[in-house]
């Protein structure tokens, strides 16, 4: 009987873990607070490079905007966000100039 209870508990834990991971995967992108912050930097939702950010880039930008290490240093946060946006824009411009290629693809 105890073995069955342990198996049931293990399966329940696995299912709960699976749902926790998959639900957090949907929390991708920029929040309304992120867009509000970007507005203070004179960047709108429809401006480059925001419009064409990949999900991975959106998560990176969200993390930079909400980084606890720079929460009390707005100058550092502004610089980190600006630097990341500059890199994202460079990647987008490169990809437009090299259709069908990826900027980070290994050379063959």
Contacts of 51 (CB under 8 A, 6+ apart): 45
Q: What is the DSSP string of 8-55?
A: HHHHHHHHHHHHHHHHHHT--S--HHHHHHHHHTT--TTSTTGGG--H
pLDDT for 105 equals 75
What integer pLDDT is reported at residue 22 of this predicted model? 46
Integer-rounded Cα Rg, in Å, for the chain is 20
pLDDT 10s per residue in the chain (108 long)? 677 777 766 676 666 655 554 444 445 689 999 999 999 999 999 998 998 999 999 999 999 999 999 989 999 999 999 999 999 999 999 889 989 887 677 776
Task: Give the angle subtended at the CA of 84 by the CAs of 31 and 44, to the nearest 5°.
Answer: 45
At residue 55, the pLDDT reads: 94
Q: What confidence score (pLDDT) does residue 54 get?
A: 92
Contact 28, 58 (CB under 8 A): yes
């Amino acid at each position: 009987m105890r073995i069955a209870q342990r198996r049931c508990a293990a399966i329940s834990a696995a299912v709960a873990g699976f749902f926790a991971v998959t639900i957090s995967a949907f929390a991708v992108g920029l929040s309304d607070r992120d867009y509000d912050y970007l507005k203070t930097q004179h960047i709108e939702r429809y401006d480059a490079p925001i419009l064409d950010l990949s999900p991975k880039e959106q998560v990176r930008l969200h993390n930079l905007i909400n980084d606890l290490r720079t929460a009390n240093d707005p100058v550092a946060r502004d610089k980190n966000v600006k630097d990341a946006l500059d890199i994202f824009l460079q990647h987008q411009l490169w990809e437009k100039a090299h259709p069908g290629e990826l900027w980070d693809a290994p050379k063959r």
